[in-house]
Amino acid sequence: MNQQHLPEKKALNWAELGFQYQSTEYRFRAVHRNGEWSEGELITDKMISVHEGAPALHYAQQCFEGLKAQTAPDGRVLLFRPDLNAERMRQAAGRLLMPHVPEELFIKGVESAVRANYAWIPPHGSGAALYIRPMLIGVGENLGLKTAKEFEFRVFVSPVGPYYKSAGLATISLAVSDLDRAAPAGTGNYKIGANYAGGLLATRQAQELGANEALFLDARERRYIDEAGSANIVVAMTGGRFVTPGSSAVLPSVTRRSIMALAEQELGLKTEQRGIDLRGEIADFEEVAACGTAAVISPVGKILVDGNWHSFYGNGEEPGPITQKLYELLVGIQRGEIADKYHWTHEVSI
């Protein structure tokens, strides 16, 4: 598309956007039938019509991804490590006995949806982004507990603001949940809808206690940190250590993986991925943050453990210097403001 003939941006108050669904004109759709994927196409219908017996409805045979498109200062449209999202969906599909979406089709679907909805991509400096939701669902006639005969891969997009309502790097709080998120050999490390539905009650209970989110501990001993309701956890500890849970039950976050690399290579921290004994090590916590595509990196000011609040850097009122620097590095690369020496960004040709 010629830069001189790009469609005008939508007349939105970009800086005031929340993290809600906003309908856009186009979405990408491909169908798997008789063992083959269709080429895929752009469609305008935002509704999905499925048979009442679809395994996605009865047996949660569905998975999804989340990534963002952002506008660089020079006008380029950038994705962040979409190949890792494609790989994570492939792993989830295999766990649920669904056909994997080839990386070429995944990237094609994402790029097509972004390109077709160019007018909805927030401008640089607005603080907003275009959220991208690829999804794979089992459809078609079915009743017994078995894999679907047909599948639909769809990608839709929506302009969004920050996941948490507070602007900037305002701190959030977590409350340890009495509920289990995932069994050690279950599906917790796959991005599938059933895991999130199971966490809704824990989040509500945490909010009733005055926290933003629930914090899950391991299901075996309820001792080690797993993850928050909608994000992974990273902890800056005494002695220059930067630690993230080593649990096999947590989602392999693209954002967390990137943050750990930045912490080691840019800040010179000693990074570790291991079990974090919450009660036994909380006295060594200097900074805590929740991270993910939606949350980016959100400082955790305090955690409610056994009825007592534990606060961190600045008495839990402001982000610590490590969290602040990692946020600046991460979003700087994502937005094309910092040279991408890691080759993490992926330009969408417009």
Catalytic pick among 46, 68, 108, 191: 191
Structure tokens at 338: 């910092």
**DSSP H helical segments within 77-146, as ranges?**
82-95, 103-116
**Phi and psi at residue 185, to the nearest 5°:** -110, 30
* Separation of alpha carbons 346 and 249, rounded Å: 29
* Separation of alpha carbons 224 and 275, rounded Å: 6
Q: How many residues does the chain have?
A: 350
Find where tokens 């409350």 sit: 175
DSSP string, 183-231: -TTSSTTS-BHHHHHTTHHHHHHHHHTT-SEEEEE-TTTS-BEEEESSS
Give catalytic status of residue 149 as yes or no. Answer: no
Label residues 80-94 b or e (16+ Cβ within 10 Å = b). bbbebbbbbbbebbe
* Separation of alpha carbons 160 and 166, rounded Å: 14
Q: Give me the active site residues, please.
A: 191
